[in-house]
Amino acid sequence: MQDLELFHKEHGKLIQEKYPDTFDPKWLLMESGWGYFHLSALDNQPWKEMHQEAEALADKFYSHREDSYGKGWKSLTLHGLNDDTQSLGQYGERDKVLSELDWTWVADKCPTTKKFLTDVWPAEFFNRVRFMLLEPGGYILPHQDRPDEEKRLSICNISLNNPQDCQFVFKDKGIVPFKDEGSAFLVDISNPHSVWNRSDKPRIHMIIHFELGRRTRDMFYTLRQSFYTNRSRLNEGLE
Ligand SMILES: [Fe+2]
């Protein structure tokens, strides 16, 4: 608990990265060293409907890492081996596991969310896709999901809601400015991070692990539009 308080005290501030003048996707994803990138091109998705779909299944979520670094942290898998799919590495040979992944009953119960994933989200293949719920008072202790040498903006973390007083914080990169009305961010989980929900509402996010496949172009334009939108919002002091 002391670790948690110290981490949030030390790193829980908003840090604005400086945007270069021109968009370079390789620099942005692999070389910038940024902790997160707001996919603002996706700002107007039906996040609230997706939140309702997830919230309606709140009693179906499974406890997540309760025995190690999470408290009040739960997950429910939309795309995976089953509705409680953990890190893929633990199920055996990776290629075989990947070929066995599929939509679960959760996706069928959440048509708006599934439609976003299949029709809008700019990647062809899905690895794991999960709803992650953090109960009021719940927390995820500081941890690092990837080694330092695998630094890149890769997975997508979407806030379906993000109550005030619930903070996702990266070491040295500060607070990720998730929006309560919904927002999508690429994040670099080789940076130590921690989440603490000090609100009285459950927080529900969705995490997408993906491969671009034939939709590389779509991701390129999503990144490009987001880059220039974020940059001009910053310059105008709107962000
Ligand atoms: Fe993590």
- In the reported structure, the alpha carbon of residue 204 is separated from the centroid of ligand 1 by a whole-number distance in angstroms of 15
- In the reported structure, the alpha carbon of residue 121 is separated from the centroid of ligand 1 by a whole-number distance in angstroms of 21
Number of neighbours of residue 31 by Cβ within 10 angstroms: 11
Look at residue 101 and tell me whether its pLDDT is greater than 90.
yes
Number of residues that this document lists for the chain: 239
Dist. CA 35–CA 193, nearest whole Å: 10
Of 36, 34, 28, whose CA–CA distance to 159 is shortest? 36
- In the reported structure, the alpha carbon of residue 152 is separated from the centroid of ligand 1 by a whole-number distance in angstroms of 14
- In the reported structure, the alpha carbon of residue 189 is separated from the centroid of ligand 1 by a whole-number distance in angstroms of 6
- In the reported structure, the alpha carbon of residue 232 is separated from the centroid of ligand 1 by a whole-number distance in angstroms of 30
Look at residue 65 and tell me whether its pLDDT is greater than 80.
no
Look at residue 77 and tell me whether its pLDDT is greater than 70.
yes
Look at residue 113 and tell me whether its pLDDT is greater than 90.
yes
Q: Residue 1 is inside which H or E element, if any?
A: none
Look at residue 80 and tell me whether its pLDDT is greater than 90.
yes
- In the reported structure, the alpha carbon of residue 190 is separated from the centroid of ligand 1 by a whole-number distance in angstroms of 9
Domain ranges in the chain? 2-14+24-235
What's 2-14+24-235's CATH class?
mainly beta
- Average pLDDT score over the chain: 95
| Cβ contact 183:159 at 8 Å | yes
- In the reported structure, the alpha carbon of residue 237 is separated from the centroid of ligand 1 by a whole-number distance in angstroms of 30
What mean pLDDT comes out for the span 89-104? Answer: 89
More confidently predicted of 104 and 149: 104
Which residues, 6+ apart, have CB-to-CB distance to 216 below 8 Å?
Answer: none
Name the token pair of 48.
Answer: 């609230």
Look at residue 185 and tell me whether its pLDDT is greater than 80.
yes
CB-based contacts of 90-99 (< 8 A; 24+ apart in sequence): 98/127
Q: What is the pLDDT of residue 157?
A: 98
What mean pLDDT comes out for the span 66-87? Answer: 90
* Position 239 confidence tier, pLDDT thresholds 50, 70, 90: low
Reduced to 3 states (helix: H, G, I; strand: E, B; else coil), residue 57 is coil
18-36 residue pLDDT tens:
999 999 999 999 999 999 9
What mean pLDDT comes out for the span 143-166? Answer: 95
Of 171, 157, 170, whose CA–CA distance to 203 is shortest? 157
Look at residue 95 and tell me whether its pLDDT is greater than 90.
no
Q: What is the pLDDT of residue 238?
A: 66
Name the token pair of 49.
Answer: 């409907």
Dist. CA 76–CA 155, nearest whole Å: 17
